[in-house]
Each structure stands twice: as structure tokens, then as C-alpha cells.
Amino acid sequence: MTDTHAAIRVSEIFGPTIQGEGVLIGLPTVFIRTGGCDYRCSWCDSLHAVDNQFRSEWEMMPINAVWQTVVTLSGGRPVMVSLSGGNPAIQPFRALIERGHREGYRFALETQGSVARDWFADLDVLVLSPKPPSSEMRTDWAALEACVDAAQEKPQIVLKLVVFDESDYVYAKGAAERFPRLPVYLQPGNHTPPGPGNEDASVDMDGIMKRMEWLVEKVTGDRWFDARVLPQLHVLLWGNKRAV
């Protein structure tokens, strides 16, 4: 069933900018960032879409209004739309995806993989980013597998793993071994400043670059030749600034 009366809890809609991460890096993209998350990662870089203290900034938007915003931002030209958050899987996106597809838009979704939806099969790209030990979250592997199953091999599915340290790297290797058919993107963690609302704080660029170099040494040393190591390009360009 497609519920065209459904509303999406939106934190921000922005773009077009470039996708800064993973398999679609560099591609012009409009982002819909939903409000609310079932996780609380210790290093989440989007707390303004997670922490309840920002709830007053979130808006319940009817599908039509969300879609109109995307059309306005893209000048009516079909573009990649990234559904992120928060956890976008807890929002009712089926009708928006259907609407956008009719007009030639494509949809990627970023989720930690804790909640599976049957409409994942309607996506073009499903980015699963299970959380390593440094996040202080525990992975429900059955839920992650349910996300892969829900997609029914229709969208492209990739694993994007954030790595801060050795135990995160070991976790990433384990996750890749559980899903041998999924391409793997490794992304160095960005130590975001404590607390939400600190997007003007400077980025620890040296730390990010050191972790990237170390990651390259790890994957090449381990002969892990189908892993890809990529930075968050938008962080290199614009730091912790919001909505870029």
C-alpha cells in the first residue's frame, strides 16, 4: 500500500551538493535528513537530527511538501536524492520514492541497519553502515541481514564502515566477511566536538589524514584488495558545517 498522506519527520533538506561519502562520492545529490534515531553513537556527526533537544527544529512534512522542496532545489532536473538522518528507515518513504521515480529521480538511503523496511526494494542504492565498537552501539546482525533481505537484490547494496581504531578495523573485517557479496567502503572517523550545535568547531584534519593513511596501510598489508578507503569529502571541504 502506498500512503500518499504520510508525513516525514524532517530535520533538514539541502543541496544540491556533492555526495561526500562512499560509493556515490562526488555525485550531485539532494539530501533529506530525517529527525530521530534509534541509536546514539558516541561520535555521531549529525546530533542535530538525533538528539531530542533539537526536536523543536524538526518538522512533520507531508510527502507533497517534501517532494516540492526537492523539485525546487533541483530546479526540476532529476538528481540523486539521499535519504539520511537520523535513521531514515523509521520514516514512511515509500510514496516519496514512488513519486520521485516517476519523474526520473534516483534514491539512496543511509542507515545503520537496525530497522528493515520492505520499501528498501524500491531504492536505487542502499548504504548499510553498521556501527563499530567505538560508537558504543551493539550490532544486531539479524536486523542487518533483514535489511539486505528486504532489498531483494533490487538496489545496489554497499557496506560503509567508519573506522577510528584497531578494534573498529577488526569489526569492519568481520562485517565484510559476514556479507561477502557486498562492496566495502572504509571511512576514517571524524572526532566531532562533544555535544550538538558545534558545527563551527574546527575539524581535526591531521587526525583524519593519519587514520586514512593507517587504514591504507592496514588494507594493503592485509591484502584486502576489494576494500575501498575514502575520506568524507564534504568534511575535507567544509569541516563540520551543517547542510553541505
Q: Is 86 annotated as a binding residue?
A: yes
Judged by CB under 6 A, the residue of 39, 141, 214, 224 near ligand SF4 is 39
Alpha helix ranges (H) inside 126-238:
141-150, 166-178, 205-221, 233-238
- 17/37 Cα distance (integer angstroms): 24
- Of 143-202, binders to ligand 2KA (CB under 6 A) are none
Nearer to ligand 2KA, 6 or 18 (CB): 18
Residue 107 has, within 13 A of its CA and on its CB side, a CA count of 24
Tell how strand 80-84 and strand 106-111 pair up: parallel
Least distance (Å) between residue 64 CB and ligand SF4: 26
Nearer to ligand 2KA, 7 or 236 (CB): 236
Nearer to ligand SAM, 111 or 139 (CB): 111
Burial of residue 28 (number of CB atoms within 10 Å: 0-12, 13-18, 19+): middle
Judged by CB under 6 A, the residue of 99, 160, 211, 218 near ligand SAM is 160
Judged by CB under 6 A, the residue of 10, 93, 107, 110 near ligand 2KA is 110
Examine residue 184 and tell whether it contacts ligand SF4 (CB under 6 A): no
Can you say which residues are annotated as belonging to the binding site for substrate? 18-20, 33, 84
